[in-house]
Amino acid sequence: MVNTTIRHVVIVGGGSAGWLTAAVLASNFQQEERGGLRITLVESPDVPTIGVGEGTWPTMRDTLRAAGLSETDFFRECDAAFKQGSRFNRWVTGSDEDYYFHPFVLPQGWGDADLAGRWLERHSHIPFADFTSYQPHLCVHGRAPKQAMTPEFAAVANYGYHLDAGKFGLFLKKHCLEKLGVHFVSDHVTGIRSHENGDIAALHTKAHGELAGDLFVDCSGMQSLLLGKHYGVAFLAQRGVLFNDRALAVQVPYANENDPIASQTTSTAQDAGWIWDIGLPTRRGIGHVYSSAHTSDEDAESALRAYIRASGGPEDIPSPRKLSFEPGYRERFWHRNCIAIGLSAGFIEPLEASALAMVELSAAMLAEEMPVTRAQMEVSAQRFNETFSYRWERVIDFLKLHYVLSRRDGAQDPCGYWRDNRRDETIPDRLAGMLSLWRHRPPSRSDFNRIPEVFPAASYQYILYGMGFCPEPGLARRQRAGEGDGETADGFFRQAADLTRRMLPALPDNRTLIAHILRHGLPK
């Protein structure tokens, strides 16, 4: 076993996680007939995919391009739209005027001046993201992040995607089978045969008999068929930190087929959770994420229906799809010759669209760490486990930050949900420590020194200052050598304003550009 060469990778489960992992691996390694890896994906025809992960990070552009996919085809086949960040409504005080942006573009001059200090000193009456970046203004005006002649995957403004998750999985599957040489087995896994040393030797399938492999990737969703059920790797529940454990999801038509397509995910706080609103070319995807300890399913559905009516949706909508989940992640993700990617590894909640991003990061690191022999696998597993334990902890910190900073109270917190989220015992120690530091200085690159970080220091600044986090007086004077003075920061602020003035008339709206892509495509 020690000297066994890794020649065959078997992926259990399809959907976005399974087929995205297959695409990354197959595009990184030669096809088997040329001495490369054999990649096989087995997917049960009897198990539906969850199919509600409709937002990505900008990293998805590089992932799709590296796999040899066409962005034009992606838009045509996945009902895709552009995403330039997130807008948070009513998270701070609960008032109708309460909103801020977390854009995908870094603040202008990020890392070259004390932007936060100068903004706090002179300009804090203007929202931080609006003052330091042009992208919130593009979102407010519904602008696209590129022009019709901008090549595929290139950007004027940084962007990710909104997409139909079910269609995305089928799009990836087609590319894997037709272009990348991935083998597909449509069958139900009924059992597992192990080697004497405990490694997985083969999967028993209902119609195809045994399916042997050297490395097995568990993309079986929340059931975690291999890592969880077979190996019994513990699940580290996080409901004591992040309370949401239910979601209601529904697809809503536009009132008019030419209605604007939002340039961002909109997240609107509710009494015991929040509602996402994602615009696709043909419909909106809307869902309510909430805590079952603070509200009932019936009240959550009532809040969802009220939001849809208030936002221009129809009076009658189909019954929402109900999803239940336990927020948390596995104690380790790579055990023996089995690695979990996607929901089988963990899930917190859809805030900030980290689910597909963690699939991307996992698949990319697996490709980088792919062992040649079984003997090398333990080293790769240790590195992978350390990296993703860190990443899951940082995802939890970042999501919790949104709740910790809320000031909703009284009539704006009838369930006690927001007050409970601010209790000291629910705040991770590392986040509490960082918040105490950030009272006296802005988040910086030194606080997040893993490459690539899940969320960079700039994202923390957008959330902190967007939610009214108030550092101690004097922060503006605490500048480090080499970061420049206030005049340098003022120059970058002027650049951001100038870019806003130039981009707004030069960029088309989302629907116009997407219609052009569907008809004519994008330049290669």
Query: Which helix (H) or strand (E) is 334 found in, with range?
Result: strand 334-335
Residue 126, pLDDT score:
96
| Cα pseudo-dihedral 341, 343, 344, 348, rounded to 10 | 110
Residue 475, pLDDT score:
53
Residue 35, pLDDT score:
63
Residue of 84, 82, 92, 83 whose CA lies nearest to 127 = 92
Residue 474, pLDDT score:
60
Residue 32, pLDDT score:
62
Residue 103, pLDDT score:
98
pLDDT per residue as tens, the chain (524 positions)? 667 899 999 999 999 999 999 999 999 996 665 568 999 999 999 877 765 569 999 999 999 999 999 999 999 999 999 999 999 999 999 999 999 999 999 999 998 998 998 999 899 999 999 999 999 999 999 999 999 999 999 999 999 999 999 999 999 999 999 999 999 999 999 999 999 999 999 999 999 999 999 999 999 999 999 999 999 999 999 999 999 999 999 999 999 999 999 999 999 999 999 999 999 999 999 999 999 999 999 999 999 999 999 999 998 999 999 999 999 999 999 999 999 999 999 999 999 999 999 999 999 999 999 999 999 999 999 999 999 999 999 999 999 999 999 999 999 999 999 999 999 999 999 999 999 999 988 898 889 887 788 999 999 999 999 999 988 766 545 544 444 578 999 999 999 999 999 999 999 999 999 999 999 999 99
Residue 268, pLDDT score:
98
Residues 310, 369, single domain; the answer is: no
**Number of domains observed in the structure of the chain:** 2
Q: Is residue 338 part of a domain?
A: yes
Which residues is 184 bridged to in the sheet? 41
- Look at residue 224 and give its three-state secondary structure: coil
Residues 380, 254, single domain; the answer is: no
Residues 257, 313, single domain; the answer is: yes
Q: Is residue 349 part of a domain?
A: yes
pTM recorded for the entire structure: 0.95
Instruction: Give me the domain span that covers residue 209.
Output: 8-63+181-239+327-386
Residues 258, 373, single domain; the answer is: no
Q: Which structure tokens are listed for 182? A: 């991935």
Q: Is residue 88 part of a domain?
A: no
Q: Is residue 122 part of a domain?
A: no
Residues 226, 345, single domain; the answer is: yes
Residues 198, 252, single domain; the answer is: no
User: Which residue reads 């045969």 in tokens?
Assistant: 193
Q: Is residue 461 part of a domain?
A: no
Side by side, which strands form the sheet with 215-218?
183-186, 38-43, 8-12, 215-218, 338-340, 334-335
Q: Which structure tokens are listed for 423? A: 């209790």
Residues 310, 196, single domain; the answer is: no
Q: Is residue 490 part of a domain?
A: no
Last residue of a domain, one of 295, 317, 339: 317
Check: CB of residue 514 under 8 Å from CB of residue 76.
no
Distance of alpha carbon 459 from its chain centroid, rounded? 13
Residue 453, pLDDT score:
87
Residue 482, pLDDT score:
44
Last residue of a domain, one of 350, 367, 386: 386
Residues 339, 307, single domain; the answer is: no
Q: Is residue 346 part of a domain?
A: yes
Last residue of a domain, one of 386, 401, 429: 386
Residue 483, pLDDT score:
47
Q: Is residue 251 part of a domain?
A: yes
Residues 231, 261, single domain; the answer is: no
User: Which residue reads 């229906």 in tokens?
Assistant: 305
Residues 331, 235, single domain; the answer is: yes
Check: CB of residue 366 under 8 Å from CB of residue 271.
no
Letter for the amino acid at 342? G
Torsional sign, CA 19, 396, 413, 100: negative
Residues 188, 57, single domain; the answer is: yes
CATH number, position 222: 3.50.50.60
Q: What share of the chain is helix, strand, coil (3-state, %, to 5)?
A: 40, 20, 40
Residues 14, 57, single domain; the answer is: yes
Check: CB of residue 268 under 8 Å from CB of residue 372.
no
Residue of 402, 400, 401, 394 whose CA lies nearest to 358 = 394
